[in-house]
Amino acid sequence: MKNCYEPFPMHIERIVIETTDTTLKSFELTFDREADRKDFFVKYNPGQFCQLSIFGKGEAPIGIASAAWEGDFVRFTVQKLGKFTSAIHAMHVGDPIGMRGPLGNGFPLDKWKGMNILVIGGGCAFSTLYAMTKHILHPSHRADYAEITALYGTRNSGLCLYKPVIEEWHNRNDIVVHQAIDVPEDNWKYHIGFVPAVLEEMAPKPDNTVAVLCGPPVMTKFTLPILTKLAFPPERIYTSLEKRMKCGVGHCGRCNIGHKYVCKDGPVFTLKELQELPNEI
Amino acid sequence: MQAKWISKKELKKLLTAWTKHYLVYAPIDNDHELAFQMVKEPARIVVDGYSNTRYPAKSLFLPQSEVLMKYDGILHSVENTEKEKILFGIRPCDAHAMQLLEHALVDVENPDLYWKQKRESAIVISKACIAPEETCFCTAVGGSPFNTADSDVLLVEMGEDYCVYVLTEKGISLCKELPDAEDTQLQAVKKLTKKVVGRMPVLLPKQELHNALMASFETEFWKDVSQSCLGCGVCTFLCPSCFCFDIVDETVRKERVRNWDTCMFRTYSLEASGHNPRPTKVERTRQRIMHKFAYWVDLIDEIGCTGCGRCVKYCPVNIDIREIAEKALHREFEGMKK
Amino acid sequence: MPTTRDQKIQAEAKRLLQEGVVDVVIGFTKGTLPYKMQPCFIQHAEDVEQLELNGLCSNNLAVYLNHRPKDERTAIVVRGCESRAVQTLVLENRHARENLYLIGVPCIGILDLQKIQQHEQDPVLAIQEEGDQVHVTLKSGEKTFQRSEILHNACLHCNHPLPVNADMIIDEAGLFEERTFDKSYLESFRSLSLKERYQEFTKEAERCIRCYACREACPMCYCEECFVNHSRPQWVDSTIDPAGQQAWHIIRAFHQTGRCVSCGACERACPMNIKMTYLTDLLNQDMFKEYDFEPGLDPALMPPFLALGEDNEKFGVGPEGSHAG
Ligand SMILES: Cc1cc2nc3c(=O)[nH]c(=O)nc-3n(C[C@H](O)[C@H](O)[C@H](O)COP(=O)(O)OP(=O)(O)OC[C@H]3O[C@@H](n4cnc5c(N)ncnc54)[C@H](O)[C@@H]3O)c2cc1C
Ligand code: SF4
Ligand code: SF4
Ligand code: SF4
Ligand code: SF4
Ligand code: FES
């Protein structure tokens, strides 16, 4: 039987420096063992995360930033903060690394079929939204959903992730992309301002629409009331939570909100679910 | 369930015989205090006259520090080398706690194999409490000093004998030689049960307490009851039903280990960004109490405290979980559904 | 007229709260078990009757200065060691002395539950203190002790039972005499061979469950991040193996050198009955020998290791070299 704490061996296939300040890098990992690869892709659903593992530096839960159709690799976009994240930032292509996952619930994409999807992302928390959007935009999935609108805000243009792909999205006609930065910059063609304000200005219609929100806590805090004001019902507002984690599988007790474990029952929750839990985010 | 009977003298012989075939863990006197230890000399087993050990028996299944994996370029799980063992003399509250831990650690998709293998290789012989201590309150949280939950065999001390309740297949294999208890003997056990339970605290209204705590979440109540808390690991480490752990790499030994951890430590929920959803002892105390009396109830409709009284007895500032539960029940919180 | 010690404490607490001198009075009140008292935080004059002080008050209340808002005007009921802890915290800039009001009580010593119970399985059902005598009801029967027989070791070896620099003293004679630094009890430990000392130390440390009740009970352990929790790099083995246990005990003691006020709150908080004051006392004895320094006695004297600056040629600077300010 599988030991749920044992990471499987992976290698770093590609590294992309995402932001001009270099605090965010994407790592594309490939599988050393065919069985792990198979197992991963059978289970993977956008919105899930993995525990990445470097012996001596511990583990860190990182959201999956690639769609399954992209290839036999898994992408993670990591912000350099503490022990683990600094260590991975110092790694090179070809280095070995451990991984456990996919973990958590992910977005209920089946449930959303036939609906409009409003994607709202801020800062580096955009990674799983990116994976989800990519998944939906794939020709074999796109027809399952109605209108797709994305709003992505970063402090400045240099901090925007996945630039080439997002540029390409602007030119597509099956997705409407709004981008925003906090302060004006030369040659910036899109919105200026914070995500909540831009969203209010955009005034998306709530009918038959789910709003999926991932961002830094302040953004989430100020955006939720706007969505409510725009008459999005709490059961159609989704967000992905972060908590300190260890086991990632609901055993170590660390990531609870009330009787739910963010690692196992989440990280994706509807606002309605959160309203029914103690307010401890 | 079968009811058998054995004299104290015969039980001693049986214990000695078991040590020849199994690893036996039992309360051993350790200078001022008892602890569950592997029995080397059966004569040292403390069979009667104790209330409970200070260090909880959960450590036999979820050790405080445990090597999960070894590293030699990649991480390998340590091999399972569990031998069949007997855990003798555990109290019903602690046996019940093992059911809670089983629930926390084992699910279909991702069972914790370290726990599972240890638990499955153990035969649990528990002992009913005929003289509960002042800090014992199992009856308040849905248990009983004669509770059979999660035991394979339950012994009840009856004068110079024990009544032996054989509860599972594993228990039967150990006790098949014993004679059945007679009706009069069983009547006496019933009488004793009634007498002992009658002196114990009454059952807490589980749902009412749950609702009160949920309503208390953002009130000053928690500031009140947590003021003297020091934020140590005593109440949770000694608690038989606490299971939280940390995973740490020990680079010198090249091992990934896990250690008990606790929501009472300030570093427990601290995130890399510096954000801490439980920044002070107010939120941390709330978590401990609510986990026991509210979240477990949400999860499996049972209180997650088994009333062993360890946290009451050993908290260095006498924070008493019974007192907090009572206070919560008697305070009016806004918006509370009764 | 208040007559007993408790009544006098209550009367002073009442006056302080009524006159608005302080926002809170920190003291002890009855616990939920016959052998336990609880720290309490009195904010209203009508609640002062809860305040009591006896030999079962086992904590060092100065620890709460580290938990509470710095601008809160606080009165604390202090015994000798607690007053010295407050002094040290003030010297280390943890609290402004002008926000504090110390209700000093000459100490009668703290009882040691381990000395009262022969065995933990023989629970204490009642305790009654009566001057020098303590009547105890154990499950196994009644017993009367001389107080000195069952005092905690820290109190037996206490040199300064009288509160230092208190704002008022509850005028009841304490139990002990003041004395100059006397830690002669350590001589038997010092006379052991290195190996024997290591054995003694190991025998204690190996029971440690890393619950850190000792740290949290200690007024001098207030670091935002304790060295044992440091992760980059991780200094100490995280497990309950000897390497981790011993490192914890040794480094903790070192951090207390010349700061520990010998109250013994750490030992009394320890759920595993581990002895540890001998370590800090040994280090303090060295501080006394080298620098003539005793923690918390002189409100103007910085602990030597904190006072050492770049100008000090070597560790051998005398107390005049270590004046604060
Ligand atoms: C579901 C989920 C998805 C995430 N996705 C991403 C992502 O896509 N990209 C990204 O850059 N970051 C992500 N994070 C945050 C990331 O996990 C933390 O920044 C990271 O764990 C910090 O580890 P560290 O060792 O560098 O920091 P340290 O402060 O040194 O942390 C030590 C240990 O604490 C734990 N820890 C500390 N902070 C957090 C935290 N916020 N969340 C979880 N565990 C923590 C980890 O176990 C870590 O090993 C995610 C977190 C969660 C819970
Ligand atoms: S919460 Fe306290 S009384 Fe309840 S099971 Fe845990 S230690 Fe025992
Ligand atoms: S009370 Fe705290 S330490 Fe115990 S299981 Fe719950 S979260 Fe973990
Ligand atoms: S044992 Fe007492 S002081 Fe320590 S964390 Fe628990 S409640 Fe707080
Ligand atoms: S209180 Fe005792 S058991 Fe806990 S860390 Fe300190 S010495 Fe170890
Ligand atoms: S990370 Fe262990 S329970 Fe969620």
Domains of chain A and CATH, by start: 8-102 (2.40.30.10), 116-240 (3.40.50.80)
Task: Tell me whether residues B110 and A280 touch, CB distance under 8 A.
Answer: no
SS3 A248: coil
What's the B271 CA to ligand 1 centre distance in angstroms?
Answer: 7
Answer yes or no: do C201 and C227 share one domain.
yes
- The number of the ligand nearest the C-alpha atom of B98 reads 2
Contact residues on chain A for B248, CB-CB shorter than 8 A? 58
> Are residues B298 and A259, on separate chains, in Cβ contact within 8 Å?
yes
Angle between helices A195-202 and A217-229 (to 10 degrees): 20
- Return the number of other C-beta atoms located less than 10 Å from residue B132's C-beta: 23
pLDDT of residue C108: 85
Residue in B319, B321, B322 to alter for ligand 4 test, most ligand atoms within 8 A of Cβ:
B319
Ordered mean pLDDT values, 10 residues apiece, chain B (338 residues):
92 92 91 88 88 93 96 90 91 95 94 94 95 94 93 94 94 90 92 94 95 94 96 97 96 95 94 89 96 96 96 97 95 69
The answer on C163 and C52 residing in a single domain is yes
**DSSP-assigned states of every residue in C94-130:** SS-GGGEEEEE------B-HHHH-SSTTS-EEEEEEE
Neighbours of chain B (3+ CB pairs under 8 A): A, C
Find the ligand nearest to C247 CA: 5
Q: If you measure from the C-alpha of residue A219 to the centroid of ligand 6, how many angstroms do you get, rounded to a whole number?
A: 25
Q: Is the CB of A65 under 6 A from ligand 6?
A: no
Please tell me the predicted confidence (pLDDT) of residue B68: 96
The average pLDDT across A179-207 equals 91
Residue nearest to atom 3 of ligand 3 (CA): B262
Looking at beta carbons, which residues of chain B come within 8 Å of A5?
Answer: 68-69, 77, 112, 247, 256, 258
| Ligand 2 residue neighbourhood (C-beta within 6 Å) | B 238-241, 292, 305-311, 321
Which amino acid type is present at position C137?
T
Of C165, C180, C195, which residue constitutes the final position of a domain?
C180
Rounded to a whole number of angstroms, the distance from the CA of B313 to the nearest CA of chain A is: 24
**What are the residues whose beta carbons fall under 8 Å from the beta carbon of B28, sequence distance 6 or more?**
B34, B35, B36, B37, B39, B44, B45, B46
> Which of residues C16 and C292 earns the better pLDDT score?
C16
C-beta atoms surrounding B17 within 10 Å = 11
For residue A57, give the H/E element and its range.
Answer: none
CB A56 within 8 A of CB B75: no
Q: Whose CA is nearest to atom 1 of ligand 4?
A: B315
Within 8 A by CB and 6+ apart from B56, the residues are B94, B97, B238, B239, B240, B308, B310
For A175-198, letters b (16+ CB in 10 Å) and e give bbbbbbbeeeeeeeeebebbbbbb
| C199, C242 Cβ separation under 8 angstroms | no
d(CA C255, CA B214): 42
Q: Measure C243 CA to nearest chain A CA, in Å.
A: 18
- Classify the phi-psi angles of A227: left when phi > 0, otherwise alpha if psi is within -120 to 50, otherwise beta: alpha
Task: Give the domain extent around C31.
Answer: 1-111+152-180
Mean pLDDT (whole number) for A190-198: 92
What digits encode the pLDDT tens for the residues B174-213?
Answer: 988 899 989 999 999 999 999 999 999 999 999 999 999 9
C136 and C279 part of one domain: no
Terminal Cα-to-Cα distance of chain C (whole angstroms): 43
Q: Domain tally for chain C?
A: 3
Cβ of residue A81 lying under 6 Å from some atom of ligand 6:
no
Mean pLDDT of A29-36: 96
The span from the CA of A117 to the CA of A205, in Å, is 11
User: Which is nearest to C174 in space by CA: C136, C147, C134, C143?
Assistant: C147
pLDDT digits (tens, 9 = 90+) for B296-330: 999 999 999 999 999 999 999 999 999 999 999 99
Give the residues surrounding ligand 1 with Cβ less than 6 Å away: A 49, 58-63, 77-79, 81-85, 124, 127, 242-246, 267; B 271-273; C 231
Helix (H), strand (E), coil (C) string for chain B: CEEEEEEHHHHHHHHHHHHHHCEEEEEEECCCCEEEEECCCHHHECCCCCCCCCCCHHHHCCCCEEEEEEECCCEEECCCCCCCEEEEEECHHHHHHHHHHHHHHCCCCCCCHHHHHHHHCEEEEEECCCCCCCCCCHHHHCCCCCCCCCCCEEEEEECCEEEEEECCHHHHHHHCCCCECCHHHHHHHHHHHHHHHHCCCCCCCHHHHHHHHHHHCCCCHHHHHHCCCCCCCHHHHCCCCCCCEEEEEECCCCEEEEEECCCCCCCCCCCCCCCCCCCCHHHHHHHHHHHHHHHHHHHHCCCCCCCCCHHHHHCCCCCCHHHHHHHHHHCCCCCCCC
Residues C119 and C175 in one domain: no
Q: Which two tokens stand for residue B62?
A: 């979820």
pLDDT score at C322: 40
Higher pLDDT, residue A185 or B295: B295
Residues C38, C170, single domain; the answer is yes
Identity of the amino acid at C131:
G
Closest C-alpha residue for ligand 1 atom 42: A244
Residue of A187, A217, A46, A212 lying closest to A120 (CA atoms)? A212
> Nearest C-alpha of chain A: how many angstroms from B112?
7
The H or E element containing residue A269 is strand A268-270
Q: Is the dihedral of CA A7, A13, A16, A21 positive or negative?
A: positive
Please give the ipTM for the structure prediction.
Answer: 0.92
Minimal-distance CA residue of chain A relative to C230 = A83
> Do C156 and C141 reside in the same domain of the chain?
no
Question: Cβ C32–B318 below 8 Å, yes or no?
Answer: yes
B323 lines ligand 4 (CB under 6 A): no
CB B305 within 8 A of CB B292: yes
Q: Are B48 and B157 in contact (CB under 8 A)?
A: yes
Query: Quick one: C140 and C167 in the same domain?
Result: no
Are residue C175 and residue C36 in the same domain, yes or no? yes
At C133, the amino acid letter reads: Q
Going by C-alpha positions, the residue among C89, C31, C58 that lies closest to residue C267 is: C58
Residue C274 · residue C267 · CB < 8 Å: yes
C1-26 average pLDDT score: 93
User: Do C261 and C196 sit in the same domain of this protein?
Assistant: yes
Same domain, C223 and C161: no
Q: Any bridge partners for residue A31, and if so which?
A: A10
Over pLDDT 90: what percentage of chain A? 88
Res C1: pLDDT? 67
What is the pLDDT, as a whole number, of residue C121?
85
CB contact under 8 A, B247 and A258: no
Of the bound ligands, which one is closest to the alpha carbon of residue B265?
A: 4
Round to whole Å and give the CA distance between A12 and A74: 10
Confidence of residue C325 (pLDDT cuts 50, 70, 90): very low
Give B176→chain C minimum CA distance, Å: 33
CA distance A199 to A213: 12
Residue in A32, A256, A262, A274 to test binding to B, most B beta-carbons within 10 Å? A256
**At what angle are helices A127-137 and A163-170 packed, to 10 degrees?**
50
**Which pLDDT belongs to residue B338?**
46
In terms of domains, do C119 and C156 share one?
A: no
Residue, of C323 and A197, whose pLDDT is higher: A197
Q: What is the pLDDT of residue C225?
A: 86
Q: Return the domain boundaries, chain B.
A: 2-198, 206-329
How do strand C24-30 and strand C37-42 relate by DSSP bridges?
Answer: antiparallel
Q: Determine how many CB atoms are found less than 10 A away from the CB of residue A221.
A: 12
| Ligand 3 binding site (Cβ under 6 Å of any ligand atom) | A 253; B 236, 242-244, 262-263, 287-288, 291
pLDDT value at residue C310? 52
Tell me the chain C residues in contact with residue B34 when contact means C-beta distances shorter than 8 Å. 120-121
pTM of the predicted protein model: 0.93
Which chain B residues touch C if contact means CB-CB below 8 Å? 29, 32-34, 49-51, 54-55, 64-65, 133-135, 227-228, 230-234, 237-238, 246, 248, 250-252, 257, 259, 265, 267, 281, 312-314, 316-320, 322-323
Which residue of chain A is at minimal alpha-carbon distance from C233?
A83
Rounded to the nearest angstrom, the minimum Cα separation between B173 and chain C is 32
Residue A87 has pLDDT above 90, yes or no: yes
Report the separation in Å between the CA atom of A83 and the middle of ligand 1, taken as the mean of its atom positions: 9
Closest Cα partner for C154 from C77, C214, C221?
C214
The first and second tokens of residue C325, run together, are 């300010």
Which residue would you say has higher pLDDT here, A191 or C305? A191
Kindly report the average pLDDT of chain A as a whole number.
94
Q: What percent of chain C has pLDDT over 70?
A: 93
Using CA atoms, how far residue A168 sits from A134, A139, A162, B145, B241, in Å, is 12, 15, 10, 69, 54
Q: Quick check: helix, strand or coil at residue C44?
A: coil
- Is the distance from CB of A179 to CB of A153 less than 8 angstroms? yes
Average pLDDT over chain C, rounded to an integer: 89
> Nearest C-alpha to atom 8 of ligand 4 is from which residue?
B229
For residue B249, list chain A residues with Cβ-Cβ distance below 8 A: 55-58
Predicted pLDDT at C229: 86
Give pLDDT, residue C323. 39
Lowest mean pLDDT among A119-128, B107-116, C259-268, C306-315: C306-315
Residues C117 and C107 in one domain: no
- pLDDT digits 0-9 by tens, C256-279: 988 999 999 999 999 999 999 999
Restricting to C residues 261-320, those with a Cβ less than 8 Å away from any Cβ of B are 268-269, 271-273
Q: Does C314 score more than 60 pLDDT?
A: no
